[in-house]
Copies of this chain bind each other. A is one copy, B any other.
Amino acid sequence: MRHFEAELEELKKRLLEMSGLVESAIYRSILALVKKDPEQTNLVLQNEGRINQMQIEIDDIATGLLALQQPMAKDLRFITSAIKINNDLERMGDHACKLAERALSLLNEQPIRPLIDIPQMARLAESMVRKSLDAFVKRDAELARSVLVSDDAVDEMRDAIYDELVAYMEQEPSTIRQCLDLMFVARNLERIADHATNIAEDVVFLVEGVDVRHHAEVRNVKPA
A interface residue numbers (CB < 8 A to B): 49, 52-53, 55-56, 59, 62-63, 66-67, 69-70, 73, 76-77, 80, 83-84, 87, 166, 169-170, 173, 176-177, 180, 183, 187, 211, 213-214
A–B complex contacts, Cβ < 8 Å, 11 sampled: A49-B214, A53-B214, A55-B214, A56-B214, A59-B80, A63-B80, A80-B80, A84-B84, A87-B87, A166-B176, A187-B187
Known contacts A56-B214, A169-B173, A180-B183, then 19 further A-B pairs from the complex at CB < 8 Å, ordered by chain A residue: A49-B214, A52-B213, A52-B214, A53-B214, A56-B213, A62-B80, A63-B77, A66-B80, A67-B73, A80-B80, A80-B83, A84-B87, A166-B176, A166-B177, A166-B180, A169-B169, A170-B173, A173-B173, A187-B187
Q: Find chain B residues with CB under 8 A from A76 CB.
A: 63, 66-67
Number of copies: 2
Given contacts A84-B83, A169-B176, A173-B170, contact A211 B63 (CB under 8 A): no
Could you tell me the dominant secondary structure of chain A's interface residues? helix
CA distance A177 to B169 in the complex (A): 10
CA distance A193 to B188 in the complex (A): 17
